Amino acid sequence: MFELTVLFGAFAAFFSMLGMNGLPRWYHPMFSWERFIRVSNDGFFLAIESHDPRFTENGVRELLERTGGEHITIVHED
């Protein structure tokens, strides 16, 4: 009975997200980037989407550089 409840909860969560947000994005252009392939347990990646109207590439780059970011690369969606 527990497995059925968990399975129902997973389906309910998925279809709730689908109803609120539309289809999920299963692939991101960042995944094909050469540096992303070399991900290891001693670092992390930060992806910043550009949907906000106040977003500017230069502004985000400057912010990340000021806070100590390394290997900052802009990845455009094809």
| Each residue's pLDDT tens digit, 19-35 | 776 666 677 777 777 77
pLDDT of residue 22: 65
CA 62 to chain CA centroid, Å, is: 20
Is 52 strand, coil or helix? coil
Regions in the chain scoring below 70 on pLDDT: 21-25, 39-43, 78
Q: What percent of the chain has pLDDT over 70?
A: 83
Query: What are the structural domain ranges in the chain?
Result: 24-78
Give yes or no for a contact between 28 and 47, defined as CB atoms under 8 angstroms apart: yes
pTM of structure: 0.51
> Which string of b and e fits 46-74 if b means at least 16 CB within 10 Å?
eeeeeeeeeeeeeebeeeeeeeeeeeeee
